[in-house]
Structure 1
Amino acid sequence: MDSKAKYSQFIKSEAKRLGFLSCGISKAGFLEEEAPRLENWLNKNHNGQMAYMENNFDKRLNPTLLVDDAKSVVSLLLNYYPEKEQIADSYKISKYACGKDYHFVIKEKLKELLFSIQETIGEISGRVFVDSAPVLDKAWAAKSGLGWIGKNSNLLTQKVGSFYFIAELIIDLDYDHATTDHCGSCTACIDACPTQAIVAPYIVDGSKCISYFTIELKENIPMEMKGHFDDWVFGCDTCQDVCPWNRFSKSHNEPLFNPNPALLSMSKKDWEEMT
């Protein structure tokens, strides 16, 4: 085994020790296939009022513009699928938002991973990314072999579905092979979307997504959307809940992601009395 392969194996073992579901490594460079897709998505205003998506177009497609001398992207998945869920008679909150803020939880794990890499391999420069910089997380995770981007635009895996966070280290490492698409003829996510935000296979109009309306939009929700939210009040998991691959989802093992019991037991009446 050559040194790069040995280092790659070490990184993946260390990531597993820190609680990450999986780890993949891909060669940093320009995402040629993603460029026209992103440009077309923006031209159709699928980003709605998320103007920040239009910024740093070149950097989103090429991590070497984000990190000097970057050679590889290390993609990591951290499971957030909860063991316990909200009661049936409740307004719904996306599963990822029921525990501690994932940005802080994952960033600490990434810092520890980077420190371990530097201690073992030597002088390695790199940066950690947790949904806080112009990085196309799903594209890099797919490129590193962790899964494929499904028709609902989420990263899917055959073993555990899609309920996980994606994060990156951009450093110098060897890279792996990609995973193929396994959506087949299934259209469960497209058919189930309450607002028809999945306008075509693999294309989500962000400006129609419930997560956009309940998290990103700073203005009042348009009246024409009334009655289309299926009781979701923060985010939406519908396209993931109906995905057949998520029947393999397993509960996470990160205590900080455990939901507040009081939140899970709140009824619609309890929510309405708060407003």
Structure 2
Amino acid sequence: MKSILLLLHDDDGQTARISAALALARALDGELSCLDVVEVPHLVGDYYSEAGRAMLLGDEERREHFNKDRVTEQLDREGVRYRWTDTQGDADACVAAAADLADIIVLTRETPNPLGFNFRPIVLRAALKGKPILSLPEDALDFRATGRALVAWDGSEGATNMLRACVPLLQKASAVELFTVDYRGYEIPADEAAEYLSRHGIHVTVSKQKGGDHNSDEWLRIRCATWRADYCVMGAFGDSHLRHYLFGSTTRRMLALGDLPIILGR
């Protein structure tokens, strides 16, 4: 987990993304792959569309030029290794194209607005590349990369893939818990996942919860809060499940947890 893809753009979540990426780089002795995106504006319909588009694109290019100066100055002060790529286009396509050699992708989540990025398609396209995504609230300024990690376990292929991918980060965690709800009948039981982590030097506790009065995601939110998790690792199965996972009720409610960073993927 040495290559950390960091999306850069002058939006409200950039500070949070930089802070989290720096925390990952320090914890993992990694390198930042900085992707600065100039997003091409989409206008439709009237006589002035092309002129308006050119004007908005020019404004966007100037804003990102100044943004690059600010960010590179900060990264130089921080003393981290980084490389920089300038790109132009739709942000989701740009991130997906840059993701092949990334070990983890740092993104924020926010309410879509017409003047900013819509992060849901960015997360979706990136997750379909099979990469872990650190999803942060846009005002999160203290990602504890070496803190308490709660792994949501359902025995699925997605959960297994995320567990394997996050081993280098979990090795740095101060505590790791595998939390499972309605655990009977899982293809890979949580105890076997804990044994796998132990072979990588990761001491794990396993917590099992019967479904009862709450949905799985509600139990997960409760456990993250009561166990004082610093971040949560989650997985999904395949393309169709992932689309529901990212846009459906379970993850929508999890991502609504204001200050909880979530590492997700398939």
TM-score tier by shorter-chain length is under 0.3
More strand by percentage: 2
Q: TM-score, normalised by structure 1?
A: 0.26
Kindly indicate whether structure 1 or structure 2 has the higher relative contact order, using CA contacts under 8 Å at least 6 residues apart: 1
Q: TM-score, normalised by structure 2?
A: 0.27
